Amino acid sequence: MTDMTEHSPVTQAAAAAVNATPSPVLPDAQTVTQVTHWTDRLFSFRVTRPASLRFRSGEFVMIGLMGDPDPKTGKQKPLLRAYSIASPSWDEELEFYSIKVQDGPLTSKLQHITPGDQIILRPKPVGTLVHDALLPGKRIWFFATGTGFAPFASLLRDPQTYEDYDQVIITHTCRDVAELEYGRQLIDSIRSDELLGELIGADNLAKLTYYPTTTREESPKMGRITALLQDGTVFRDLGIDTITPETDRAMVCGSIGLNTDLKDVLEGFGLEEGANSEPKHYVVEKAFVG
Ligand code: A2P
């Protein structure tokens, strides 16, 4: 026998820990199939999808990795965070879009995954950025900053989004142009991919409007989305009427600051916040930041 692990002494504490908690990894492990690094702060990846996992486009799940063993007990605990599923509900795999934080407990490690690696995925999807939480309307706005684009990457590839509304407007605001790239390519693929085009339909695709802005690096459209809504720039740029509770529905996903400020803007237009249990005009969720 040359396999050292076969002969490694097992401490009583470690054995007790193993016996007390059957390995939490195995039942919920999924395999990484693809990883794309967009900038030194952003990456996306795809993993296998459990056959039994059903979700509504826009929902999130808990995903992560095993943490380091506890120095005293040898016990490892899963390190999990809430991640919006970026792929649509019909996709056979699951996609996620993540920030990389160099000293972040999870993303400092997660950013190094490569195809073939395993991650933990708890198959219990939940969330408020779902069509069920909104009353019927004519226009739907998806307001994203940073990695807040993720739930909309799912919803924008879901035919229901286009069937439910006459116009679908996605705004994405980032500090720099490079941070818009994941979203820009997603929009391009929706417009040019044959399979997606067929699934969503040409008439439906014509309903899609993409409005990217940057706040720190020069780009064709600059400014915080809150300011661009308040001074009417967005409506002038798109040649559309202002937001009203009769016609407009909105989903918001960004930092806590963005969410709070945008809620005020939307309430200023007369919109009220909805929930799964009480659908109204807009819904909000915090984008994953660590
Ligand atoms: P800014 O550069 O002016 O802070 P972050 O990377 O910090 O999450 O920010 C993503 C984008 O969201 C940035 O363009 C940032 O603009 C914008 N942003 C952050 N906070 C707010 C807010 N409270 N209202 C509007 N936009 C915001």
Q: What is the pLDDT of residue 4?
A: 35
What is the rounded distance in angstroms from the CA atom of residue 260 to the CA atom of residue 171? 17
108 CA to centre of own chain: 18
Alpha carbon of 199 to those of 95, 129, 193, 195, 243: distances in Å?
19, 22, 10, 6, 29
Nearest ligand 1 atom to the CA of 260 is 23
Neighbours of 43 (CB within 10 A): 21
Question: What's the CA-to-centroid distance between 145 and ligand 1, angstroms?
Answer: 7
Question: What's the CA-to-centroid distance between 257 and ligand 1, angstroms?
Answer: 8
125 CA to centre of own chain: 12
Nearest ligand 1 atom to the CA of 262 is 24
Instruction: Please tell me the residue having the least CA distance from ligand 1 atom 20.
Output: 258
Contact between 117 and 63 (Cβ < 8 Å): no
Q: Match 């809620």 to its residue by tokens.
A: 263
Question: What's the CA-to-centroid distance between 276 and ligand 1, angstroms?
Answer: 27
Domain 131-286 has CATH 3.40.50.80: yes
Q: What residues does CATH 3.40.50.80 cover in the chain?
A: 131-286
Neighbours of 37 (CB within 10 A): 12
Q: Residue 3, by phi and psi: left (phi above 0), alpha (psi -120 to 50) or beta?
A: beta
Residues written for the chain: 290
Q: What is the CA radius of gyration of the chain?
A: 21
Q: What is the pLDDT of residue 288?
A: 75
Listed as ranges, residues in the chain with pLDDT below 50 are 1-25
**Phi/psi at 95 (5° precision):** -120, 145
Q: What is the DSSP string of 230-286?
A: HTTHHHHHHT-PPP-TTTEEEEEEE-HHHHHHHHHHHHHTT--B-BTTB-BSEEEEE
User: Of 147, 174, 255, 260, which is best to mutate to test ligand 1, by the most ligand atoms within 8 angstroms of its C-beta?
Assistant: 255
**pTM of this prediction?**
0.90
CATH superfamily of 11-126: Translation factors (2.40.30.10)
Q: 54: exposed, middle or buried (C-beta count within 10 Å: 0-12, 13-18, 19+)?
A: exposed
Question: What's the CA-to-centroid distance between 224 and ligand 1, angstroms?
Answer: 7
- The per-residue pLDDT for range 7-65, each reduced to its tens digit, is 333 344 444 444 444 444 456 999 999 999 999 999 999 999 999 999 999 999 999 99
| Cβ contacts of 104 within 8 Å, gap of 6 or more | 290
Question: What's the CA-to-centroid distance between 258 and ligand 1, angstroms?
Answer: 6
Q: What residues does CATH 2.40.30.10 cover in the chain?
A: 11-126
What is the rounded distance in angstroms from the CA atom of residue 261 to the CA atom of residue 85? 25
- What the block records as the tokens of 269 is 């237009």
**Where does ligand 1 bind, in terms of residues with CB under 6 Å?**
145-146, 173-175, 215-216, 224, 226, 254-255, 257-258, 261
